[in-house]
Amino acid sequence: MKIAITGKGGVGKTTFAGVLSKVLAEDGYGVLAVDADPDANLPMALGIPEEKLSSITPLSEIKDIIAKRTEAVPGVFGQMFKLNPKVDDIPEKYCIEHDGIKLLVMGTVKAGGSGCICPEHAFLRALMQHLLLTPQEALIMDMEAGIEHLGRATADCVDAFIVVAEPGQRSIQTLKTIKKLALDIGIQKIFVVGNKIRTNEEKSFIINACENISILGFLPYDAALIEADRQGKTPFNKGECYTDEVRAIKDKILNLINN
């Protein structure tokens, strides 16, 4: 089971990705969580302690390895590079593990003008395609906000594509654009999770806006999640209503993918 999670910036996709990873691990799944968002916050959503964070090596920082295996020069625009580099040894070397969840961080360009990161994304795409999972394993990929990753087709090797949407026009517009681009690269199983829901009117707004896109469920606006963020804690143990809803969504995901 390989799942990519995306949406407009600020809709809560990383929180959802983190809690979904936790509830799958709770059910006995072996979980590999991939933080493919340059603004990497998934480690905090997973509750990884600070002393472990320093041991994370983002893939974007192993430029020598990526350059050698993609046959590309880091940061150079317009060059040819290998689309199917060797990646089978990467998870074991660069994952860290916490509470039964393995984490792999993509990382980001750290300075303006650093150049093209297409080889890094080719590397990540090859990694996603290489991973072979048993029925009791799951890959949860927290994508970058917006639509750029779909232009690079980074997520075209997943079983399900989940767009987190909040009750607002900008979020819905991003959702519709993501749907179109996802279909363009052959992703058929596209689902929506409504987030930050406070009223039935907000729920109805998302239902009406989604048209023929399947909705997996709705997550409540929960002040406990804001407090967890202030404390740098995982929302898994802080927002009981939120986590219970994620558990229900997880059951729907398993049914949809397995049927």
Burial of 28 (C-beta count, 10 Å sphere; 0-12/13-18/19+): exposed
Q: How far apart are CA 32 and CA 95, in angstroms?
A: 9
- Residue type at position 223: A
pLDDT score of 151 more than 70: no
The H-or-E segment that residue 194 falls in is strand 190-197
Share of residues in the chain with pLDDT > 70 (%): 80
Q: Which residues contact 248 (CB under 8 A, 6 or more apart)?
A: 217
For helices 169-184 and 200-210, angle between their N-to-C axes, nearest 10 degrees:
30
Residue 201 banded pLDDT, cuts 50, 70, 90: very high
Find the mean pLDDT for residues 208-218.
92
Q: How far apart are CA 22 and CA 20, in angstroms?
A: 5
Q: How far apart are CA 243 and CA 220, in angstroms?
A: 10
**What was the pLDDT predicted at 132?**
63
User: Number of C-alpha atoms within 13 angstroms, CB side, residue 132?
Assistant: 2
pLDDT, tens digit, 9 for 90 and up, residues 48-78: 888 888 888 777 777 777 777 777 665 565 6
Q: Which residues of 42-54 are buried (b: 16+ CB within 10 A; e: fewer)?
A: bbbbbbbeeeeee
- Parent domain of 95: 2-258
Q: How far apart are CA 217 and CA 205, in angstroms?
A: 14
Give me the chain's average pLDDT, please.
Answer: 81
**What was the pLDDT predicted at 114?**
39
pLDDT score of 110 more than 50: no
Please tell me whether residue 220 adopts helix, strand or coil conformation: strand
Burial of 198 (C-beta count, 10 Å sphere; 0-12/13-18/19+): exposed
Give the least confident one: 24-28, 57-61, 165-169, 205-209: 57-61
**What was the pLDDT predicted at 192?**
96
The H-or-E segment that residue 93 falls in is helix 90-94
**Residue linked to tokens 């995901």:** 253
Q: How far apart are CA 159 and CA 134, in angstroms?
A: 14
Give the least confident one: 66-70, 122-126, 136-140: 122-126
The tokens for 190 are 């596209």
CB 178 within 8 A of CB 13: no
CATH of the domain at 81: 3.40.50.300
CB 22 within 8 A of CB 225: no
- Residue type at position 115: G
Left, alpha or beta for 117 (phi > 0: left; psi -120 to 50: alpha)?
alpha
**What was the pLDDT predicted at 82?**
61
**What was the pLDDT predicted at 27?**
93
Give the least confident one: 80-84, 168-172, 223-227: 80-84
Note the pTM of the prediction, 2 decimals: 0.84
Q: How far apart are CA 124 and CA 118, in angstroms?
A: 10
Domain count for the chain: 1
